[in-house]
Amino acid sequence: MQFAEQEIASLTEMIWLSSLGLAVERIAELPLEMGRQRTLMGCVHINGEWQGAVVLHCPMPLAQRVAQIMFSLDGQLPSWEDTQSALGEITNMTGGNIKALLPEPNVLSLPAVVEGENYTPRIPGACLVSRLVFQCQESAFVVSLLQKDFASEIKK
């Protein structure tokens, strides 16, 4: 099931353009080189009437660019903490806007940010609902929506 992909794409484009002045465009597939880059993953959970998570997977150079813009660093390399904070904030904005599309009431968790290379994140008890890939300048990033899988709990 693909959940509100057009709405998620529009929200993502609006958030990046209005908050960062960066144009993003939805693309069909993730470029192969992204799988070999050091990346950051931001995640926020949505709990309430609807339960799941919004995950933003971003290559480190793009996350650093986001931090430079967000904190007005004028070309300076951002600190690790600034980079984490910036990706967490963009993830939070994305999650908050997606949350507005879901049945109420819901609450949004604080964002969590993970960094690494060649890893596969897993949120136990969740299934992928939508996965959208975006191009921003010369990088690509992914926005995923996961929903709690109640069917797997019933089988237990």
* pLDDT for res 152: 55
65-91: pLDDT as tens digits: 999 999 999 889 999 999 999 999 999
Can you state the percent helix, strand and coil of the chain, rounding each to 5? Answer: 35, 35, 30
Domain boundary assignment for the chain: 5-155
pLDDT higher than 50, residue 1: no
22-49: pLDDT as tens digits: 999 999 988 776 667 789 999 999 999 9
* pLDDT for res 123: 82
Of residues 68, 84, 69, the one with CA closest to residue 116: 84
93-109: pLDDT as tens digits: 999 999 999 989 999 99
User: What is the dotted CATH code of the domain comprising 5-155?
Assistant: 3.40.1550.10
Cis? peptide before 105, omega within 30° of 0: yes
* pLDDT for res 156: 47
